[in-house]
Structures are given as structure tokens and as C-alpha cells.
Structure 1
């Protein structure tokens, strides 16, 4: 009995002891929230960009200091236009800080890795800061921004800034040294050139970050009117061979945009445009410039590049929508403060609407290509099952949660749909305004009244959802708040009301529309989303699988490779032909697929034929959508 009691006591002993329970340590941020107070002195920032072979940018900064003691220097984290914490801090290397020639130790905040704190020595008037920016050499490291032929210099990647101040209150004098003989363009003032070093006048850090540079050895520029210049940098001189008609289409695009808004929020505007197979693609907006990169064939294969040509109008429109006018929760005083993206369906969505409208009005894109683009958007969102659980509003968080990484099942997960679905919402708003006003008013009137105010103002004027609804109501009375909230905040059907009111209807045919032909050629894929439910490359690699589509139900995932179709080696034309033939319900679709090291055979149960979206006119005569796409006089 005594032995049994001792045994029971031993069993109970661990339960009686209290488990370890740590307490959260106190944490104080390395710096305090930014204040709208001038930082004393003027920084200098000198970038040596001559080592393009190794993609290494060498940076020297001189940062004035007013007093001894702790000072936090920050690397830009939350970046305008990217709507997310994308500052490439992993590419910063070799950081060394000195005062009066003596090393000054720095400490990175482990909870805020963009913050570096130093103790400024007694008597020091400035800090010398040196580091290297190691630009990606391969795409698996990030976007390639430096090649042996050209450079996309984004100042936020090559600068630290003193914390605690609005970035507009920090003054800086920048310079960059380029490889011998290169030309460089940035929308900065006060340029002077000495040899291959370009020096700019004093500006504020916010404007500097908003004024990137493109530079290269093969360069040509065209005046597009309205104080706008097209600056093109190319891999090879022959890529710059634009025809007079091509440049004239770009001039009309600029003219139509200025007519739309009736104002300008720049003194001059620089399109920075790279034509390259090496430099990473980009479309990024700024007040007085934009960063754009497309394939080399933009001019030289004009007939097959139509689907690319909404990029420049998109970025140009952002000078009004996104840079001048911006959602109140998106604007931040510095690059530490997190951005909130709840109004990106205005910022990006309405811009996506205007990009194809302006491309059509100017002739930059043929009308049939634009109609095909609208059809593709509508069909894709009608197909998309992800809207059953994720409202459009939540996709505005995608820049933060996903950062444009590839997705396993995009149609179920959704990805930044505020762009193209947003465009469909604004198409519907335009059609509704035209209907309610008897054709006297349109979304053009909203654009002029909302984005076109304060001509010449390059600042930022913020807005809320209520402001948007009120501005729409001033154009055409309606319950716009409910209209927008239903389509943005709630789980809802795809916004196809604009097409229903446009004088067109969405139909499916066996041949791709002109937009899809161009887009497939550009991406080197075949989009079969509306038939077997995949997108596949010329080599048979599947890049997208429609959730609950025919191929999904066969257990297929992205990165699966189709090796053979009905016993013959895969090629896109034969695969399309096989899908079409299977409409009779008797002809098989047998696929040999490779998934990693494994092969298996799929007998695909599908007999719906090829299906591609098109917009088909309803009735005769000009339609409301035709009027939208007509040039302004």
C-alpha cells in the first residue's frame, strides 16, 4: 500500500509543477513616427553605376547631423506604386559608416530590419555612408534592373534616409556616374554633366524617389507634345526603328489623355521606355515620369504587339489617378509607414479602364483588339470561382500577401483583380451615367471633375470612398455608394452590367479574338481556359489550371508537362485540333503527362470544343461602347 502511494505521488508531481511561462519583453521602435518637420542640412547621394557587367552599384552618401547621440537611418521599405513592403534590402551589402574619417558602429533593429541605428559622435557634423547595391544578376534573385546595355536606376534602392521626418522634408543633391558614352534620363531638375557624371539640383527625398532614371548606350527620344517626351532605350540600335506612324499614334495618345482630364499635373513628363529581352519588365508610375519595359519587338513587329500597347497610356494616366489623386489610406509620409490599399480599384481599376479607352481613341490599339480585351476580362471573371469566397476588396491586399509570386491555382486564390475587374466596374459606371443622362454625360465628366482639378499641381490630393461617390453623383444622380460597395465589398457576381448596357454581348467562338492572338504570341502560350481549363506553353508546360475545370478534375497542377496527345508528341496546333475534333463525343483526348519524375495517362472527358470569348454587336448602328472608344474632338 505504501509503495503504491509513493508511485501515485511520483505520477502527480509533474502536474503540480508550473510550466515555464515567458513574458513578452518591452520593445521600443528604433525611431518614432515621422513628423512634418524639416531635416537640418542637405544630403548628398553619389552613385557609381559603371560596373554594369557585374550589376554592382556603389553608393556614397553624406548625411548631415545636428547633434550627437542615437540616429536611425532607414532603407525605404513601403514603396509607392508597388503598394507593398518591397524595398530590396537583401541587395544592400558592405555598409560602412564613418564620422570625421573614423568608423561608426551601426546596429540593425532585428524587429525592423530596414532600420539602422548609429551613435553620432560628439562634434561630428555629418556621416559618410558607403554601401553596394547588388542588383539581381538572374531573375530568381529579383527583377533584373541592370544589364550590359542599360540601367534602370531606382533611387530608393541606393539610399538611406534619416528617420523621423516626412520624406518631403529631407533635402538631397543626387548624382550618378554612368558607363562611358551612355545617355541617362530622369525627371529631375538642374542637370549638369561632366564627362559621364550627371549631377542634379537639390530636391527633396520624396521627389527623388519619384524620379527614377533610365540609362543606356542605345537611346533615342521623340517629342510627343504637351511637354511629354518618349525616351527609348534598347538592347540593339535596330530596336529603335520606330516609324513616323507609330510615333504619331503615341502623340495622339498623349493628346487624348490631356483632353480627357483637361489639366496636367507635371511641368514635363518623361516616358522612360526600355525595349529589352534582358532588363526585367516593368510598368511603374510617377508624377512626372514612368518606368516601362517591354520586349524588343515593340516597334519592329508592330502587327503582333497590339496587346502590349496599353502599358504607356496606363502609366501616363497614373499621373492624374494614383499620383495626384490617391486614396487617403494609401498615402504615407515616409517609407516606413504601412500602406493600406482599400481604394486600389479606383487607383488601378479606373486607370485600367482608361488605358484601353485611350489606346482605342488614339489608334495605338486597333478597336477590335480592345473589344477582345474587354471580352477576355469579362469571360475570365465569369469563369473565376474564387469570387465565391473572396470579395474584390480583399484582392487589394494581394500586393502585400503575395508580392506577385506565382500561384498554384490563381482562379481560386484570386490575384490583384482590382485591375481588370475594376475596369469592368468602371465600364458599367460609364454605361450607367450615359444611360441616366441620355448620353449627355459620361465617365469622362467624372475624370475631369475628379482628377482634372488644380491644373499644374504636382502634389497629392487624397480622397475617400465618400468623395468618389459624391463626385459620381454630381455627374449623374444615383446611389453610387451602394453601387460601388456591392461590387467591391461583397461576394458578388462578376460585374458584367457594363457589357449588357454597351450594345454588345459576350459570346464564345472557336477562334481566338485579336487580343488573345496577340497576347498568346507575346506570352508564348495558348490560353485554353474556357475549354479544357488550362494555359499551356509551346513546350507543353501548364502555367495555369482553372479550378474545377476539366483538367483540374483530372488532378493536373501547374508545372505539369503534356508530353503527348493521342500518342503523338505535343504541339499546340495539334492539341487545339484534337479538342475541336472531340466535339463529336466520340474522338478521345488522351494525354501523356509528366509530373516531376512521374508519367501518367489522362483520358480527358471533354467534348465542348474550343471556346474563346468575343464581344458581339447587338442590333445595328453606333453602340454606347462605340461612342466610348471614339476620339475626343
Structure 2
């Protein structure tokens, strides 16, 4: 049976050189055999990281100039001594909270010592590890490989285009096992296409002939310092004195870098408002917003201690076209991470290198409170108006008020989502749940903020927690870990309360009502309207196709395809799933407007809304007995209450 399968596989490969000799029943020439990697042999254990410094300095040369073909060519020299060496490709990537290192993109690996090729053996249990036997007398390994980057749909996030590059060092290096990332010294360089400029948090030693050389650093700092580079380049100073903040911007087209005085003012205001939130403590020597103004490079918002990777809409600066809320909020969110997630981070995320499994139990602080402060700073800095910020909050509250998945899966368990499937799409996300440790946790922190404000009559707030917990004075900006108990203690230091029960009740609850107390304490209640305001339309730009809180689905694209079927909603209960196409509404040709008109006409009546649906070659007629009209979420002021939400969203004057 084995031989039959092998023969079929070989025929499928058109009798390539690998299969040909076997088919011809010939013995291969022993000179052509690569024995150690092809034959079983004992696999040494992967050394656990220790605090000892790695002996020697690794040289890393990255050629990222082949942007047309999406190739990154890497050469490294790694000091070694005789014996077994294990080289690791980073697996658990910071900010991803998951084993997302794209090992399948590492190709063409060769290892040599003193000009002689050496065999490497991939670990059979952990394929991110490569074992090499170093011969006597050898003092360094010469490593070379090519990292493939996505060039089409379904291959992953695009990192290179003919106009720009997002170089993430962890995808272009191997490092020795057995050491902490901070104990491995590296001297990196990168070759760019002719005429390109770049932004990076590393210290540049020289930049000549399109080759950028950087000062010696450690592996941790290198991985934490990605690069944005491009032919269309702009640099913006955002203040800060000896701990300066700047933005380096690349774009698809030169005109996308033009103008944007108001946007620059908002970015400057962000820096000021963050200082006021965190007590003026900047835990970095300098900070760079890496910004890609693009619709070709893959979307990203990723935190680092001294920089962040951000892509935004092509009209971000020049004002051409709509800029979605997510593109306005991404830079504030990632900036907050310099304090929460990088300087201070969960103790179980203080892993020594990139191949030790991460643990995510406190993502509701790491990401959840960052989500809260990111949204708050987006408003305080003027990226959005108060009404737009309230519209965002209304949408979040409505989604959890109507999320069926809360019936079975506690919020705490969603912190496992990255490990279960990083950013994996789901046909019924309202039932399966996903990265709710972002947005639902944000509601918990709003709840805590308004509780402190109401019980202290506005004298204290969660701002005091942020200043105490993240804005601590420190001689060094090396990461500091925190635990659940640390969070509780810091909250109690601001305002005594049973914070442990407060948090665990909300994190561990199953089938509980949505925790929206923070809204009412803040002076608002969640309601629904059939006519969204201009601010609500701006935040929910797809409102015309949104029937989530009426019929229980949305429409996507000109085909009127049904998407986002809400578990337990009206469409779901009628047996409708995602992927069907809406063909007709009350016997008339379908369109979003036709469906909105039909829902409006049925309000208060008794006749059902008749829909004809198509899935492949099958058609269905479904009658929706719905008479409550269109429903879009809105926050409504509670008369006579204090507007704590307004206080939270207002810019700080000191």
C-alpha cells in the first residue's frame, strides 16, 4: 500500500527527479544522497532558555529589495562551538498572543561552517526548530534562507508592494535556542529598493547606497522594532523633547501624503492627552508611529514599546474619501500599548523568548483596558466628536446585549481565542464568540470608571488608576509584570471596593444579562432608533445594509448576499444561514432600500415581510412576522443625571 501511494504521488508530480529513480527501480548515486536530513537519527532536546548571555554577536543581513516578487532574502552569521545547536524560527509572536510565526514561508534554508555545507534536521515535534551538528573547529554558522511574503488572496497579510514594505524582523531570522531574547546580541542591516526611505525605532549606524546598517542591539529590541519603508515618504515631528514622538509615513501615492494639518494636530493632541492620562511618564527614549497610508499593503495595528505598526485609509491625510473609525482609533490604541502591554504587561506574558508558549489569562486588561483608553483618547484628542464616540459605544453595547454566545461561554474563556485560531473567521461569531476580551472588557472598564466617579462624586476616576498603575516612575523602561491581585490592589488604592468580586463576576459569568451598568451610571441608556443620526451613520457606514437588530442579518455587496446572521435572531430562527442571496422583497426586486422600505411599511401592521432567497440553484420564500421597524442602537441621555460619559470623553486640561 505504501508503494502504491508513493507511485501515485510521483505520477502526480510528473516523475520529478525525486520520484524518477524509484519508478525506474534504480539505485541512486550515493554522491547525490543528503543522508542526515533524509534518514532517521536521534533528535536532541530543544534547550530551554536560560539567563546566560549568548556568547558572541549574530550578524543579520536582510535583503528586502525584491518587492516586485515579494521575497525577503536573509543571511546570518551565528557564532557557535562544536556540538549540537538548535536554531529557532520565532513561533509565538508578541501582540498576536498566538503561535503565528509563518514557518511555512521559510524556504531554501542552507547552513554551512567554514564553507562546508552542514545538514539540518527539522524537529519532528516542533517544526519551528532546526537541529545542526557543528563540527570540531568551527566557530560560526553561515545561514541563508528566503522568506516568502504573501502576494495574493488567501496567503496571509501582504508585507510588500512595489511602493512600500513592512519589515517584521521576527519573520526574517533564526536564533539559537537556550537563551533569553534579551541575552542574544544582533547587528542587523537591511537593503531597500533604490530611493526608498524608512522609519524604525532602531539606532541607524549608516544609510548608504540603499543599505541601512543599525547599531548592535539585542534580539528582544530588534523584534520589537519593525520597519515601514517606501518610495513615498513623510516624517512628522510630534513633540516631546528628549523623549520625542514622531510619525514616519509611507503611502501608495505621493498625493496621499499631502495636507492633513488637522490630522497632525490630532496626533499632537494624542501625545499630550496620553501624557496627562499617564502622569507624564514616558517609558521610552523615543517613539515612532509607523503609518502606512494604503489600500494595497495588508491591514495592521500592532503594538511595540517604542513604535507601532498602523495602516490607515488612503484619505487619512488628504481628506479624499471616508476614513473608518477603526483607522482613526488604531493609532491611539497602539500608543496606549506602550504603557499597557509593553512597559507593564501580564506576568504570564513575560515569556523569555519567542518559542515559549504564551499564556493569555489577563488579555482583558492588556487588550481590554487598552481598548477602553484607546477609544477615550480617540475622543479626547479630537479624532472623533463626542456624538461619534457615543455612537461607537452604543454599537458595542448593542452587540453584547444581543450576543447569544454569552449564554455558554464566559468572557474569561475568550482570552484563549488567539490560541484556538488566530483571527479565524467563523460563520456564527455571535454564538461562538471571538476576541471579546477587547470590546466587552472595555465595557467592564467603563463600568469601573463610572462606579468610581459616582461613588466619589467625580473626585476620582479610572484616570487615577491609569496614572498609578501604568504611569509609575521607573529608572528603567524594562517590562514589568502584573497579576490579577496587582490590578485589584491598584483599584482599591484609588477607591476601596470589592474589586475582586466585581471583576470575577463579570469575567466568569455565563448566561448573565449584559453588564451595561456603566452606561446608566454614566448618564445614558441604550435605546434603538429607526433613523440614525449623521454621527451614527458616520460610525456605522454600512447602516443602509444593517438589519442586525430587526431581521437579524446584514447585506453585503451588490449581490445582496446575506451575511452576519445573528444566532437566535429572526432570520436564524427561520432557518436562514449566511451565504444566501436576497432576490426579492414583497415580490419586488431586492435591494437594501427595498428591504428598508418593507421593514418600515410593516411596522405596527400584521402582514409578514416576504423574502425570496437563493442559495446556489435553490430558492426559498420566507415570511418574516416582524413589525417593530428598523432598529439602530443609540445612547439616550437620562434626564437629571450627571453626564459622566461626557466627562470621560472630554480632553484633559492638565
* SS of aligned partner of 2:127: strand
1:603 and 2:618 equivalent? no
**Would the alpha carbon gap of residues 411 and 62 (structure 1) be closer, same or farther in structure 2, given more than 3 Å must change?**
same
Runs of 4+ more than 4 Å apart: 26-29, 513-516
Matches within 5 A, 1:313-352: 313-352=332-371
Shift in CA distance, 402/381, structure 1 to aligned 2, threshold 3 Å: same
* Residue 488 of structure 2 is aligned to residue 469 of structure 1: yes
Q: 1:514 to 1:318 in 2, by over 3 A?
A: farther
* Pick aligned residue for 1:298 from 313, 316, 326: 316
Task: Evaluate the alpha carbon distance shift between residue 199 and residue 569 of structure 1 in structure 2; reply closer, same or farther with a 3 A threshold.
Answer: farther
Give the 3 Å change call, closer, same or farther, for CA 192–543 of structure 1 in structure 2.
farther
**Is 1:559 matched up with 2:579?**
yes
Structure 1 Cα separation of the partners of residues 412 and 641 of structure 2: 37
CA contact (8 A) 1:581 1:587 kept: no
Closer, same or farther: CA 373–303 of 1 in aligned 2, 3 Å:
farther
Output the CA distance in 2 between the equivalents of 1:478 and 1:621: 23
Matched residue, 2:67: 52
Q: Does 1:307 align with 2:322?
A: no
Corresponding residue for 1:230?
A: 247
1:113 CA drift (Å): 0.5
Q: 1:519 to 1:467 in 2, by over 3 A?
A: same
How far is the alpha carbon of 1:60 from its aligned partner? 0.6
Out of 176, 187, 211, the position equivalent to 1:162 is 176
- Are the equivalent residues in 2 in contact too, given 1:77–1:336 (CA < 8 A)? yes
Measured against aligned partners, the alpha-carbon deviations of 1:567-600 in whole angstroms (never above 9, x if no partner) come to: 3333222222222222143454222222234332
Tell me what 1:13 maps to. Answer: none
Deviates more, 1:492-501 or 1:387-396: 492-501
Alignment of 1:36 with 2:51, yes or no, is: yes
1:542 aligns with 2:556: no
Residue 530 of structure 2 is matched in structure 1 by: 510
Match of 1:94 among 102, 108, 118: 108
Change (3 A) 1:479 1:83: same
Do the aligned residues in 2 keep the contact of 1:341 with 1:396 (CA within 8 Å)?
A: yes
Check whether the contact 2:607–2:625 (CA below 8 A) recurs between aligned residues.
Answer: no
Tell whether 2:494 aligns with 1:460: no
Residue 440 of structure 2 corresponds to 421
Q: Is the 8 A contact 2:123 2:131 kept in 1?
A: yes
Q: Decide which of 282, 292, 295 is 1:277's aligned counterpart.
A: 295
Instruction: Please show how residues 394-473 of structure 1 align to structure 2 within 5 Å.
Output: 394-455=413-474, 457-473=476-492
Bigger mean CA offset, 268-277 vs 281-290: 268-277
Structure 2 unaligned runs (5+)? 1-40
Quick one: distance in 1 between partners of 2:195 and 2:208?
A: 12
| Kept in 1: contact 2:204–2:212 (CA 8 A) | no
CA gap 1:27/1:475 in 2 versus in 1, 3 angstroms: farther
Which residues of 2 match residues 70-89 of structure 1 at below 5 A?
Answer: 70-89=84-103
Query: Separation in 2 of the partners of 1:30 and 1:512?
Result: 61
Q: CA deviation at 1:378?
A: 0.8
Offset, 1:622 = 5.4
Q: Deviations along 1:196-252, whole A, 9 cap, x unmatched?
A: 011100000011000000011111121111211112111111111232122111111
Equivalent residues in 2 for 1:135-214, closer than 5 Å: 135-214=149-228
Distance in 2 between residues matched to 1:596 and 1:119, nearest whole Å: 57
Change (3 A) 1:417 1:125: same
1:480-529 Cα deviation digits (max 9, x unpaired): 011001111232332201001001111110123556523443x7983321
Corresponding residue of 1:131: 145
Q: What is the rounded CA distance, in whole Å, between the counterparts of 2:600 and 2:287 in structure 1? A: 49
Asked if the contact 1:368/1:514 (under 8 Å) is kept, the reply is no
- SS of the residue corresponding to residue 511 of structure 1 reads coil
Is the 1:287–1:319 contact (alpha carbons within 8 Å) kept by the matching residues of 2? yes
User: What is the rounded CA distance, in whole Å, between the counterparts of 2:155 and 2:547 in structure 1?
Assistant: 31
Is contact 1:582–1:609 with CA below 8 Å preserved after alignment?
yes
Count of aligned residue pairs for this structure pair: 607
3-state DSSP of counterpart to 1:173: strand
Question: Corresponding residue for 1:109?
Answer: 123
Which whole-Å CA distance do the structure 2 matches of 1:275 and 1:372 have between them? 25
* Aligned twin of 1:241: 258
Given that 1:30 and 1:117 are in contact with CA atoms closer than 8 Å, whether structure 2 keeps it comes out as no
- Report the equivalent of 1:358: 377
Q: CA deviation at 1:43?
A: 0.5
Pairing partner for 1:219 from 233, 242, 254? 233
Q: State how far apart, in whole Å, the 2-side matches of 1:339 and 1:613 are.
A: 37
2:515 pairs with one of 490, 495, 502? 495
2:278 alignment partner in structure 1:
261
In structure 2, the CA distance between the partners of 1:223 and 1:283, relative to structure 1 (3 Å rule), is same
Partner of 1:250: 267
CA displacement at 1:564 relative to structure 2: 2.9
1:4-23 equivalence runs, <5 A: none
Q: In the superposition, relative to structure 1, how do residues 33 and 597 fare at CA in structure 2: closer, same or farther (>3 Å)?
A: farther
Match in the other structure for 1:6: none
CA deviations 1:442-491 (Å, max 9, x no partner) are 00000000000134633110011000000000000000011001111232
Give the aligned CA root-mean-square deviation in angstroms: 1.9
Alpha-carbon offset, residue 565 of structure 1: 2.4
Number of the residue aligned with 2:32? none
TM-score by length of 2: 0.90
Q: Secondary structure at the match of 2:436?
A: coil
Residues 449 and 461, structure 2, Cα contact 8 Å, conserved in 1 = yes
Q: What TM-score results when the alignment is normalised by the length of structure 1?
A: 0.93
Greater shift in the superposed pair: 289-298 or 41-50: 289-298
Aligned to 2:28: none
Alpha-carbon deviation of 1:27? 10
Return 463-472 or 492-501, whichever deviates more. Answer: 492-501
CA contact 2:188–2:216 (8 Å) conserved in 1: yes
User: Deviation string for 1:12-58 (max 9, x for gaps)?
Assistant: xxxxxxxxxxxxxx997731221011001000111111111110111
Provide Cα deviations, 1:263-286, integer angstroms capped at 9, x if missing partner: 101111110111111111110000
